[in-house]
Structure 1
């Protein structure tokens, strides 16, 4: 199924003779059909914003189940506010359709938007296989005057060195179609708001005309400013620089947090006081950095260079060590009573971020593997996940965890549902009549266990 084609002939925007106003009108009227390749957490809301603007959008995905649901107006990503209602509305109005037949969608589209996952492999090298596969699909229906926008986050030079060669391996040549990088700047839980204009939209083309077309199209989608960079490579670096800034800043906070005992201060309180200086903006330390963005961006930059980049490398390594710090701290706390080998440890939170049912690169997975290698039994609790990712842990429901006999616990993700946990239920009364608690590591400064018998270590605050 593809979106309803406009009654009049479709038009391309790249190299068009029409005036900019005429091109904008054609886009808004649906005479510039759009195909969005990848119906994930960014691709779906992006396609819906295209749909409400043009009314001629087809979403493409390789998952038949997801496509069937979307074509019926059912949203499989219901944690995104407003997406379900907008999807239902656009499907009912024939302004959005979805298909697994990417070649059919490509054959009718004049604007092609690629927003598929880009990750790293086991050697920390960029894995662009999904991106290249999507580009091959676009190539099958690419016509002169079409425009291709890459929203996926990519290493510098990807549009010119990877995507353009794929697109020109067939009948098309450079200069016959537009190609631009238009990086997404979207956070989970606020996708529609961000796409519509929370931040300026960055666009950069492989040539001047590609940049012009990208700026024209996204100016119709966003209420914010469109910033046109000098070229696609610059636009690619903009998104990476944003992510690496956060990675390095979080690494600073995390390193300071690990030194709280050496400093003899509460690092969290110290950071909050330091941040009252307007030139200081230290972020909050935690159990680790997960998600589909920050853990990968440093590797995308590092892969593109041969010169040393010690700050970027160090920031990434500091953040990758935080799950190990959590485990080491937990082991230290257990050592006064028992060994970690044979202990039962409850992990609270497996999703990489509170309230967001995504687990990619979650620090909880690393924590579970480390504990498993030490001989511990791991119980994982996450009320917002339907199932656990691949990890050595037993999935335990939130309302059942207090029935289990656990020796230690670690809060990895601060879901609001954990506010209802009865932590007193983990206490045990000894033969001497004294109630004793367990060892707890709070990786997110979210627990107040001062009225319990537990021994608690809060990352950035120390033992208390």
Structure 2
């Protein structure tokens, strides 16, 4: 695959129809930088539409797999078949050399990780590295699309001058086109489950982004005022969810003191069209929501007390969950320090093999610090991995004959529907996701947000807000 004469889209005098034909006929080579869980589906869709894509990734194992027509991303319906088909057709290949990919491409799509540092600041090192490689090979008329989430003003203040300096010219397009996808449904999302947002550093960049993504999606392309506005759209989506979840989580802590099922109240309140409260839970995980608030909190001089408070509330939920379990174990005459506790679910979402920022991690740490023996069950992580080995002192797969004292449900995998709860002696169970129905058992069950539902037991739990527990939760 090599660049053709018709590859220029930015600043081209050709008609829109001719540019579209060039894009769809493979005359406009595309490079996608980052072939991870979101990057590989995006690259495969680009290959399916344009017929001329090279994917760049620093992981040589990923590159080898793609070039063999194999898919290293699991649990993505249709992705394995799409990768195999586009590679076999010569429309998609991979390289571990991003500069070589940049040399061949006219459209450059960047979707690399943008995590946070230990100081809770945006880590844009991977993005900057790719930008230098792309800039060094950036031809007149090339277009750069950034899909990875970044702090607002990254394109205008960092990437545009960096690319121009490396390229030695400014005759290129740059637009922010945020990915709006979720693991487990990436292809459907990319192809049009939601409108695609694009915003360029200039009008021509926006026009080119509209043209290209109009061919990838069956949904609308929403062109916003500029790249910074598009960056804000993506960040604001995550901030909304973090604040909303924090509200639900804080309300859940009032369940016993008020004496109501807060989950029922939330569900009923949501029948109002203007109300859309999320569900509470044992914590917030994943590679987005726990990180992106810090792009604003620590990225600008303006204070963000609401965002800080939301993060504190959501970060406190693992401790709240363990403190609740400890209280319920005491109510049954036991002690968490002498208990064997199973954590059900280590991934941050059901059906998704992703453990970044999973609340199971701090829950395991809190349990271990309290002296409990911790075992863990996750059908997606049935082989020992470094995360589990480091986070959890002892781990075992589900064993109905294991002598357990308590269970914490963190992630509601469908496989847990098959647990034969009646085979266990009475357990103390904290259900973090309103998932379990153990009403016909003798287990003592506490559902976060709903309170205690103990079969055959009339006694009530101590209030959440007693002095000792309040001190524990706030530490």
Separation of aligned partners in 1, 2:395 and 2:27: 50
Residue from 318, 326, 333 that aligns with 1:323: 318
Gap regions ≥5 residues in structure 2: 454-475
1:58-457 alignment runs, 5 A limit: 58-173=54-169, 175-336=170-331, 337-385=333-381, 386-388=383-385, 389=387, 390-398=390-398, 400=399, 402-427=400-425, 437-457=426-446
Deviation, 1:442, is 0.4
1:133-159: per-residue Cα shift (whole Å, max 9, x none)? 221221232111111111000101111
Residue from 34, 41, 50 that aligns with 1:54: 50
Separation of aligned partners in 2, 1:354 and 1:22: 45
Separation of aligned partners in 1, 2:167 and 2:231: 27
Aligned length: 448
- Secondary structure at the aligned position of 2:84 is classed as helix
1:430 aligned residue: none
- Secondary structure at the aligned position of 2:31 is classed as strand
Contact 1:35 1:57 in 2 (8 A): yes
Separation of aligned partners in 1, 2:423 and 2:207: 62
Contact 2:132 2:166 in 1 (8 A): no
Deviation, 1:357, is 0.7
Deviation, 1:10, is 4.9
- Secondary structure at the aligned position of 2:187 is classed as helix
Contact 1:143 1:172 in 2 (8 A): no
1:362-403: per-residue Cα shift (whole Å, max 9, x none)? 0001111111222222111101124442412433223x3x23
Deviation, 1:305, is 2.2
Separation of aligned partners in 2, 1:216 and 1:140: 25
1:417-462: per-residue Cα shift (whole Å, max 9, x none)? 00111222320xxxxxxxxx12110001111112222211101110
Deviation, 1:351, is 0.4
1:432 aligned residue: none
1:433 aligned residue: none
Are 1:35 and 2:31 an aligned pair?
yes
Separation of aligned partners in 2, 1:169 and 1:15: 19
Separation of aligned partners in 1, 2:302 and 2:97: 43
Separation of aligned partners in 2, 1:282 and 1:164: 39
Separation of aligned partners in 2, 1:447 and 1:152: 36
1:294-322: per-residue Cα shift (whole Å, max 9, x none)? 11121112223222222222222111111
Deviation, 1:342, is 3.8
Deviation, 1:32, is 0.8
Contact 1:380 1:393 in 2 (8 A): no
Contact 1:74 1:87 in 2 (8 A): yes
Deviation, 1:355, is 0.7
- Runs of at least 4 residues of structure 1 off by over 3 A? none
Separation of aligned partners in 2, 1:361 and 1:455: 29
Contact 2:137 2:167 in 1 (8 A): no
- Secondary structure at the aligned position of 2:337 is classed as coil
- Secondary structure at the aligned position of 1:117 is classed as coil
Moved more, 270-279 or 48-57: 270-279
Contact 2:2 2:105 in 1 (8 A): no
Gap regions ≥5 residues in structure 1: 428-436
- Secondary structure at the aligned position of 1:453 is classed as coil
Instruction: Say what the alpha-carbon RMSD is for the aligned residues.
Output: 1.4
- Secondary structure at the aligned position of 1:119 is classed as coil
2:12 aligned residue: 16
Q: When the two structures are superposed, what TM-score results if normalisation uses the length of structure 2?
A: 0.92
Contact 1:10 1:33 in 2 (8 A): no
